Structure 1
Amino acid sequence: MSTSRPRRVGAFAAAALISVLGLAACGSSDDGGGDAAATNASGVTTITKGKLKACTHLSYKPFEFKEGSKVVGFDVDLTDLVAKKLGLEQEVVDIEFATITSGAAFAAKKCDIGYGATTITDERKKAVLFSDPYFEATQALIVKKGSGITDLPGLKGKKIGVQTDTTGQSYAEDNKGANGYTTVVFDDLPTQLAGVLAGRVEGAINDNGPLFDYVKDNPSTEVVKEFQTGEKYGLMVKKDDPNAQKIVDAANEAMKAAQADGTYNTIYKKWFGVDAPK
């Protein structure tokens, strides 16, 4: 089976017209910062004065990854729009993914907002409050070229790599019994895909966007199958918190405005090389 083209994922999102090259998020430690929390002119109280602290888990190219000392990516640019609307500057905190989706990072006051190409699920909604969806995605299978594997049945008796605490892991586990493979859990996307290259696993399942991005730089690999899981990404904030509700309301307004004025499409094309789906 030939490699399918990515379903270059949809959009519902992002804010006021600004240069997508202008606001760059800086890396940070995951402490509380030196300045005390403060309420700014937008009426939002943040952990650190003047900052919108954003938790994510690196690296997940092209959504969030390091380029030199800066954290860049599609999610980063969108959240810059949210920060701009609130009169703040984004500050990125690299933290374990599960601490964001479980709500622990918000409870511990590590961040004001969170992202990480995060699929909105009913289970996650129990722990965090999501923004409106801003991106559509699905799961995909990546293998080494020439492997002869084109779908999950071809992995019978073999090993497949999954990233911990992801919907890709859930999909692989749900289909393990029917296809007879063994799952191997990796902590992050880079080590998962390195496992495919090194032959530690015969394939890997993750979101289609990062996998199609990966094969561009690693032509010895190919995406052989997409599984239409109908996933949508959202930004995350603390659940059942009036202040966090203000942040997510601003995020929804920012993303809606960016969709209307073309800013979203500019950001999308910057990271994916094509126009955003209508």
Structure 2
Amino acid sequence: MKTRALATGISVLALSLLAAGCAKDDTSTTTESGVKLVEGGTLTICTHLPYEPFEFTEGGEVVGFDPDVLKIAADAEGWDTKVVDISWETIVSGEALNTGQCDVAAGAMTITDEREAVMDFTDPYFEATQALMTKTGSGITSLEDLAGKTIAVQDATTGADYVKENAPKDAKIVTFEDSALMQQAVKTGKADAGVNDNGLLNYFVSQNDDVEVVTEFQTGESYGFSVKKGGNDELLSVINDAIASDDYDTVYEKWFGSAPE
């Protein structure tokens, strides 16, 4: 499916400005509805790029399903949106939220007990499973077929955890920092297969006919957006309203071709 650029108002903020330790003015504010924002009038979103079709850069703008859903929430409150691209570990550890780098974290992030211990999550907004991607016609149909072969995964993901727990003992697991590198490893033959979320891999194979998804693993996963632990129930409520809205169905169909069940 042909992606479309997100409406104006979303920009990428370089991590280097934050990592440099430069002093920044306190621009935080609390809205009339009680929502705490790190920058007045703007919903600041932390993510790790790319993760198509959930978030990636196109034409200098961050686009994707996640920023579109969060834009529903921002529009309802009259806020702009801004995206901060940082490491995935900084997000899932809760550090990005605790240090005020953003108001909400996004990234097709599975809700887990470990993550709930350090962040507060919205209602689930996407049901996911893990998927196995190979070169087209490889003859591989399961993890068991990968004995003695190489499996690509993305660091700090539930897919990586699944492979470590379920792959044959003699399979070689190669970890990549981001999803694009993991997918390219399979496409170029550097890895025999890759495991990651089904939404990500199904979208990738729709754009690349030399790879295919050969099976999925029912892992009972749900994605959520997260906010600072114990710090922003009002923002959770605003985002939950967006998830429950008719606009959510429209955005879902835009990126996945059909309305959610």
Question: Residue 211 of structure 1 aligns with which residue?
Answer: 201
Asked if residue 155 in structure 1 is aligned to residue 146 in structure 2, the reply is yes
* Contact 1:63/1:73 (<8 A) preserved: yes
Whole-angstrom CA distance in 1 between matches of 2:14 and 2:40:
16
Question: Residue 62 of structure 1 aligns with which residue?
Answer: 53
Q: How far did residue 99 of structure 1 move? A: 0.8
Name the SS of the counterpart of 1:212 in structure 2. Answer: helix
Question: Residue 254 of structure 2 aligns with which residue?
Answer: 270
Q: How far did residue 180 of structure 1 move? A: 3.3
Asked if residue 122 in structure 1 is aligned to residue 113 in structure 2, the reply is yes
Residue 245 (structure 1) aligned to one of 226, 233, 244: 233
Question: What is the identity percentage for the equivalent residue pairs of Structure 1 and Structure 2?
Answer: 44
* Contact 1:24/1:71 (<8 A) preserved: no
Unaligned runs of 5+ in 2: 19-23
Q: Which moved more, 1:44-53 or 1:158-167?
A: 44-53
Matching of residues 102-113 of structure 1 within 5 Å: 102-113=93-104
Question: Residue 214 of structure 2 aligns with which residue?
Answer: 224
Asked if residue 165 in structure 1 is aligned to residue 156 in structure 2, the reply is yes
* Contact 1:35/1:49 (<8 A) preserved: no
One-letter amino acid of the counterpart of residue 71, structure 1: V
Q: How far did residue 195 of structure 1 move? A: 0.6
* Contact 1:24/1:70 (<8 A) preserved: no
Whole-angstrom CA distance in 1 between matches of 2:219 and 2:203:
19
Name the SS of the counterpart of 2:13 in structure 1. Answer: coil
Whole-angstrom CA distance in 2 between matches of 1:21 and 1:225:
32
Whole-angstrom CA distance in 2 between matches of 1:66 and 1:35:
28
Residues 154 and 179 of structure 1: CA distance in aligned 2, closer, same or farther (over 3 Å): farther
Question: Residue 25 of structure 1 aligns with which residue?
Answer: 10
Q: How far did residue 229 of structure 1 move? A: 0.6
Question: Residue 21 of structure 2 aligns with which residue?
Answer: none
Whole-angstrom CA distance in 2 between matches of 1:51 and 1:36:
10
Residue 44 (structure 2) aligned to one of 29, 53, 72: 53
One-letter amino acid of the counterpart of residue 255, structure 2: W
Whole-angstrom CA distance in 1 between matches of 2:255 and 2:115:
27
One-letter amino acid of the counterpart of residue 128, structure 2: A
Asked if residue 142 in structure 1 is aligned to residue 133 in structure 2, the reply is yes
* Contact 1:135/1:233 (<8 A) preserved: yes
Whole-angstrom CA distance in 1 between matches of 2:193 and 2:110:
22
Q: How far did residue 35 of structure 1 move? A: 6.8
* Contact 1:50/1:89 (<8 A) preserved: yes
One-letter amino acid of the counterpart of residue 117, structure 2: K
Relative contact order, higher structure (CA 8 A, sep 6+): 1
Name the SS of the counterpart of 1:248 in structure 2. Answer: helix
Question: Residue 91 of structure 2 aligns with which residue?
Answer: 100
Whole-angstrom CA distance in 1 between matches of 2:80 and 2:240:
18
* Contact 1:62/1:74 (<8 A) preserved: yes
Question: Residue 254 of structure 1 aligns with which residue?
Answer: 242
One-letter amino acid of the counterpart of residue 184, structure 1: V
Unaligned runs of 5+ in 1: 1-19
Q: TM-score, normalised by structure 1?
A: 0.86
> C-alpha root-mean-square deviation of aligned residues, in Å?
1.7
